[in-house]
Structure 1
Amino acid sequence: MLTSNLLAAATAPLQWSPTVGAIMIICNIIAIAFAKFKVTYPKTGPELPSSNFFGGFGLPGLLATTSFGHLLGVGVILGLHNLGNI
């Protein structure tokens, strides 16, 4: 019975589209901009070849901010899909 209730509550799968990609890119840019003002030591660890394109972060800072950006993007995309806007 629990399985049938879970299957009934499932939504239609979300297909990738350029809109979904644009939302993910925007969320990553927002995360980098947010971290640029909040991270105390952004240049620790190995440096990136063109770090000015990534907010002046080193490799660990870039990985951390883009991970946060992807979590933010997944939340926004699934939220918009659940509302029916995507």
Structure 2
Amino acid sequence: MLTSTLLAAATTPLSWSPTVGIIMILANLAAIAFGKSTIKYPNAEPALPLPNPLGGFGVPALLATTAFGHILGTGIILGLHNLGRI
């Protein structure tokens, strides 16, 4: 029963394209901007080697925002693919 449900929900595979890359980059930039305004201690230790170009984040904040950005980007990409836009 579960197998047939999963097979019915399967769509065509999504191959990588520059559009997919741009969407992921924009999602990560949006997540970093959101994190910069909402993280209580963005410069927690350990510090990054170049903190100024990376928004003054420490390693934990950078990992958290980019992980959120990838989750956000994956949702956007799969949603647009499901709608047939990409």
- The alignment's TM-score, normalised by the length of structure 2, stands at 0.92
Segment drifting more, 39-48 vs 2-11? 2-11
Aligned to 2:18: 18
Structure 1 residue 63 corresponds to structure 2 residue 77: no
Unaligned runs of 5+ in 1: none
Provide runs of 4+ in structure 1 moved above 2 Å: 1-6
| Cα separation, 2, equivalents of 1:36 and 1:6 | 39
Q: Say which SS state the counterpart of residue 40 (structure 2) adopts.
A: coil
Structure 1 match to 2:42: 42
Flag the structure with higher helix content: 1
Unaligned runs of 5+ in 2: none
Shift of 1:51: 1.4
Give identity over the alignment, percent.
67
SS in 2 for 1:3: helix
Distance (Å, rounded) in 2 between the aligned partners of 1:14 and 1:39: 33
Please give the root-mean-square deviation of Cα atoms over the aligned residues, in Å: 1.2
1:78 aligned onto 2:78: yes
Greater shift after overlay, 24-33 or 6-15? 6-15
Contact kept in structure 2, 1:28 and 1:66, CA below 8 Å:
yes
Q: Distance in 1 between matches of 2:80 and 2:35?
A: 24
**Separation of aligned partners in 2, 1:62 and 1:5:** 38
